[in-house]
Structure formats: structure tokens, C-alpha cells
Amino acid sequence: MNAMMKTVAATALGALAGVLATFWWNSAAPAPAVEDTAAEPLYWVAPMDPNYRRDAPGKSPMGMDLIPVYADSADAAATGTVRITPAVTNNLGVRTAEVVMGRLPSLISTVGYVQYDEDQLQHVHPRVEGWIETLFVNASGDPVSRGEPLYTVYSPTLVNAQEELLLAWRRDDPALIKAASERLEALRVPPEAIRTLRDSRTVSRTVTVTAPQDGVVDTLQVRQGMFVKPGMETLSIASLAHLWVIGEVFEHQATQVQVGDTVRIQLDFAPGRAWEGKIDYVYPTLNTRTRTLQVRVRVPNPDHVLRPGMFAQLEVATTPGEQRLLVPREALIRTGSQSRLVLALGEGRFKSVAVETGRVGREQAEILAGIAAGDRIVTSAQFLIDSESSKTSDFLRMEEHTRAAREQMDDHSGHAREHTR
């Protein structure tokens, strides 16, 4: 028994000696030089509660050592910053574009309608009382040519005027001839009718009224056998050689259009075909019903393809604005209270920022504040990233309030403990 005890004791002493020798060797050996490349921690957090943060090492409320957080791990915690892996970025189809300086090509897209050129609208009025004996046009829209008869009218006044001219010719009185001829011209008797009267020396019972221009009958106010008198409109003739296109421009775009701007016109009935013209008049008042400003474009129509009443789509090329930051229009995220863009910060990091917008064109938008030239912004899948960024921002704001409240509670607890002591 004593021998066994001695053996165990010797074994234990040997093991202890080995441990002591190893410890002495490691203590005596010089420690390898380690380059201090670790960055300084930003803050320390509790292992079980990331909302509990401190500026120095210490213990958490649960008695556990605080964990340091470095810059690399804090990027994801930056307010509104979202980190996405390359695989997820590729699956989402995220595309980016660079913010550039330039002039917004102001192209206003709007609608309008075709109507007659009122400058080429001719109204026919009788100069004397009488009865329409023969009407050569039957309805509105009938085509007419210059000099073509419109109707014949019987008027005692015209008969008397012809007789006065015949009497002046018989007397060979130049003064009477001139006065009688001018009276017939004032009553709008065609020069051909006056020459026929001079050659035949026979008074015509009726006088034929002819079309003053080529075009179509716009309005027809009389019928055969009706009594007409001066001041009454019998019909009107509109030309199809040139037409007006009246465009409707929104109120906020009113200051961008001016006389001389080029307009491209397309109609649904002729896909692939376009007409071009220039704004020749900007109306001085807005339409109170639609809150739009009307602009007028005069368009040649030699083949008479355009018809009044047609609906048209207009693109107005206005004067470019000042040098501004420009971004693709599809990159803008518009909410009820603000406009936002998603910045691509690199290395899979994204952040949604509020911006102030200027004019918005067909393909680009002006940015007045919120970003800088050279920044990269997300142009696709930005809505999903924005929702995540906004959620992170809201969470961190609540987190900051929670952390402040907890720090305040800790301070009160510390003061209470000191007071108890």
C-alpha cells in the first residue's frame, strides 16, 4: 500500500514539474511581434441586446462582457443604408446610372384637336334684299371651287341698278356710267355679270353669287326660296389647304411654351406618320374648365388628309433650361410628401435619400438638391430597396430613442445605488 502511494505521488510530482517547465519556457520565450492593424472599435454592444451601446468596454445589464463593433460591421447600421449581396443584386435586376450635369431637353407631350384655319374662313352675306331662286349647294361639307356658283338671288334693287347702268350707257355719260358701275360693284355683282350686261344690253332678272375661294361649305344657313337681307349670313366656306391644331398645355407648363416652338403632331388614324409645324399663337387666357393654356399650330394640309375635329397628340420642343443635375425619370420615387432617389454607395450598399426636383421631362428629371454630380443612382428595382432603406431608417430612429431611454434609466439606477450606499 505504501509502495503504491509512493508511485502515485511520484507521478503527480512529475506531471506538475512538466507543467511548470512548460509555463516557464513559454514565459521566457519572446512573444512574436504582431502588427497592430486592427481598427479602433466604434462602440461596444451587449451580446444579447444590440440596442445597448457604450463608448467603452464594460458589462451588459445581464453581466456579460460588451462586444466591440468596428467600422466594417457598422456600415449596415448606418441610418437608411441597406447591404445587398451580389447574388441578390443580380436576381433583382438592379441597374444604376450616373448623375450628370446638363440641360433638360424640354419636350412637352400633350393633346389637341384639328379645326379650320379661321384666317381662311370666308363668310358670304347678301348686300341687298331678295329671294333665293336657285341653290347650288345642298349641305354643309360640300366641296366648292373658286368662282363656282353658290346660289342665284332675285332682288328688285339689283334690277334697278342694272337699268341705271344701261341708261348711262345710252346717254354716253361717263359720270353716270362710273356711278352706276360702282353701285353694282358695291352690291357685289360679279364683274362677269357686269360685262355680260354691257355686251347684251339686257337686264338680268337674277344675279348669281359665286364662291370666293376653294374649300368646303362650313355652314349653310339658307334654303331655296328663302328671303334674305343685308347682314344675314347665307353660308361660310372653309379652306382645307391649311388647318389649325389647338394644343392644350397644363398650367405649370405655360411659361415653357412660346411662339416659334416646333411641334410634332401624330394622329391615331395614321400610325407612323407625323406632321410638323410651329406655334404661331399662344392664347392669353387659360381654359377655366380644364385649367389649360391653348396654343395654336398652323399645319399645311395639301392632300386634305387632316380633317377638322380629329384628335391629335402633340410634342412641343421648348427652349432648354439652365444647367442642372439630371437623372433618368424612372429613377424618381414620388410619394405624397417628397421625391426620393436610391444611391448606390458601392460594395453592395444602397441608401434612399430625399431630393428636390425641378422640371420633369419625358426621359429625364432635374434635381435641385439632395445629390451631387457623379453619384450613382438605382434606376430599376429601386422601390424594393427604398422600402427596405426606409424601414431601416425608421427602425434606427426608434432604436436611438430606445437607447437614449435605457441610458437614462441606467443613469438613474446608478444614482440610486450610490445614494443607497
Domain boundary among the residues 181, 209, 237 is at: 237
Q: Is residue 182 part of a domain?
A: yes
How far is residue 221's CA from residue 232's CA, in Å, rounded to a whole number? 9
Q: What is the pLDDT of residue 406?
A: 52
Mean pLDDT score of the chain: 80
Whether 145 and 210 map to the same domain: the answer is yes
Within a domain: 414 = no
Q: Is the pLDDT of residue 67 over 60?
A: yes
Tell me the C-alpha distance between 55 and 258, whole Å.
63
Other Cβ atoms within 10 Å of 410 Cβ, number: 13
Nearest to 17 by CA among 29, 25, 7, 27: 25
Q: What is the CATH classification number for the domain harbouring 379?
A: 2.40.420.20
* Parent domain of 243: 108-118+239-317
Most trustworthy range by pLDDT among 36-40, 182-186, 214-218, 252-256: 214-218
Q: Are residues 129 and 164 in the same domain?
A: yes
Question: pTM (2 decimals)?
Answer: 0.56
What is the CATH classification number for the domain harbouring 263? Answer: 2.40.30.170
Strand partners, 249: 293
Strands ordered across the beta sheet of 143-144: 122-124, 235-238, 215-220, 143-144
Is 10 within a domain? no
Q: Same domain, yes or no, for 198 and 52? A: no
Does the residue 137 lie in any domain?
yes
In terms of average pLDDT, the best of 14-28, 148-162, 387-401 is 148-162
SS3 157: helix
Q: Is the same domain home to 219 and 233?
A: yes
Query: By the 8 A CB rule, do 232 and 221 touch?
Result: yes
Q: Do 61 and 130 fall into the same domain?
A: no
CB contact at 8 A, 184 and 249: no
Q: Do residue 59 and residue 191 come from a single domain?
A: no
| Judgement on whether residues 231 and 304 belong to the same structural domain of the protein | no
Total domains in the fold of the chain: 4
Question: Comparing 62-66, 119-123, 413-417, which segment has the lowest mean pLDDT?
Answer: 413-417
Decide: 99 and 377 in contact? Cβ < 8 Å.
yes
